Amino acid sequence: MDVRHETSEMKYDKFSGQVTRRTRLRVWFVRICFCILIWTLLVQLVTVGGLWHPNLLTRSLNRRNKYNMLSIEENVVQSTPSLPPARNYSSNGYLKVSCNGGLNQMRAAICDMVTVARLLNVTLIVPELDKTSFWADHSNFEDVFDVKHFIDSLRDEVRIVKRLPKKFVKIYGYQPLEMAPVSWSNEKYYLQRILPLFEKHKLIHFKKTDARLANNMIPLDLQKLRCRVNFQALRFTPQIEDLGHKLVHILRGKGSYIVLHLRYEMDMLAFSGCTHGCTKEEADKLKRLRYAFPRWREKDIVSEERRLQGQCPLTPEEASLVLVALDFDRETQIYIASGEIYGSERRLDQLRVSFPLIVKKETLLDHEDLQQFQNHSSQMAALDFIVSISSSVFIPTYDGNMAKIVEGHRRYLGFRKTLQLNRRKIVELIDLHKNNTLSWDEFSAALKSTHKKKVGEPSHRKVMKSKPKEEDYFYANPHECLCEKPRCINLSHAENVSKNY
């Protein structure tokens, strides 16, 4: 009993319950040993970190980071910018817009509508994309563009919201004013004619948005805002950008490449009435399609007359002759940016003979990669857009909306070479060569001479006061936004006006 009692006192004081001196020493010793062990493990982890850390990062990088070096603004380290301060102003109403046309036509219209909203101090609803056109694409804005970035990056200029307040929705009995602004209008039209309508109706719905803002005679700050929307705010969704950058990565892995925007598709041929190179059955089919769309209908279209006037897209065969005559190497890697070529793959036979390294997104990517974009023409066009602005040379065979928007974007990125084909002169020279009036050497020399200064170099935008539709398109040459870019000359608004009258 005495022994047990003595042992008990060595461990605890039975009144206070505190640990004895010897026990406290043991506890501290254990704690010190544990800390030493933990510290040793941490040092070892840091030491071997250089061995496993890169591999861990490599495995965890998603596809977006994998191709970020191929972003539209190359060689620029992009960081997540802080949001600009929201602009504090009293809104004069709400502007709802329904875009019409293909991807690039809608893209330009969105830039214009943001600018109009800023001018009028109104709140812009996220634009609706065209779902009723020939392509029947049901994509919404957020399926093509990064809607959060769009709203946030412009918050210091325009208030943009995803949807209307409930009181303005039709089911609550509200009827907005629906209209289409006059084409090619300047800021005076919007301030004098449209702004008073907001004071009365509070909500206006623009049913058409293409070419509703003038190319020229617009204040410099508004022109620069159009560029800011186009080049910075309208970013494609991460899924589209990832796959577009993957395409560029694959192409550059095999060397430089050019993009041939071969606009020889059913919708373009039916719309323009151009049937050169088609069989009789194919020509009849195009005519029936044209008359099925009232907006495309036009009487007495003579295909050959249009071709000689330069109003038809080049055929694949004509494009092949042009590339050979301009001395593009047989081993040149050519990316075909287009939808389905009318007449199928047989129409590419001559082009393939001259240039065997012809590729398309469908041949470069797995079916699984493209599956999510199938039947969505705008999303597929967005992939071609990314590849086109990143190419060594961009060659459009027709001056449609994509050709113009891509040309302007390539100017913005440092005046990258864009071959602006003179179709009227080309078909004239091709016909002279085919009837043996011009030898091959003469044909080639004439083509080179014609296009010597048509590669997208810095230039003034043509102004035609009485014929705004015939002016140079703003988005093909937004020179007001290029003055700080390499190789850019000093192009002021006043200088531009004085030199073009």
HEC sequence for 82-121: CCCCCCCCCCCCEEEEECCCCHHHHHHHHHHHHHHHHHHC
Region 367-388: mean pLDDT is 94
The more confident residue out of 167 and 487 is 167
Given this model, what pLDDT does residue 170 score? 67
Would you say residue 240 has pLDDT above 80? yes
- With residues binned 3-state (H G I as helix, E B as strand, rest as coil), the percentages for the chain, rounded to 5, are 50, 10, 40
Confidence of residue 80 (pLDDT cuts 50, 70, 90): low
C-alpha distances (whole Å) from 65 to each of 119, 243, 364, 453 are 37, 12, 20, 38
Residue 301 gets the label, from left (phi > 0), alpha (psi -120 to 50) or beta, of beta
Confidence of residue 67 (pLDDT cuts 50, 70, 90): very low
Distance CA 87, CA 82 (A): 15
pLDDT tens, position by position, 471-481: 999 999 999 99
The more confident residue out of 244 and 460 is 244
Given this model, what pLDDT does residue 26 score? 65
Q: Are 268 and 133 in contact (CB under 8 A)?
A: no
Residue 216, CB half-sphere, CA atoms under 13 Å: how many?
25
The more confident residue out of 174 and 302 is 302
The more confident residue out of 331 and 32 is 331
Q: Are strands 94-97 and 257-261 parallel, antiparallel or unpaired?
A: unpaired
Q: What is the DSSP string of 235-285?
A: PBPHHHHHHHHHHHHHHHTT--EEEEE---BHHHHHHHT--TT--HHHHHH
Lowest mean pLDDT among 69-83, 130-144, 182-196, 309-323: 69-83
Q: Are 99 and 129 in contact (CB under 8 A)?
A: yes
Confidence of residue 9 (pLDDT cuts 50, 70, 90): very low
Domain limits, the chain: 2-43, 94-233, 257-499
Given this model, what pLDDT does residue 289 score? 87
Residue tagged 């700080």 (tokens): 484
The one-letter amino acid code at 358 reads I
Would you say residue 20 has pLDDT above 60? no
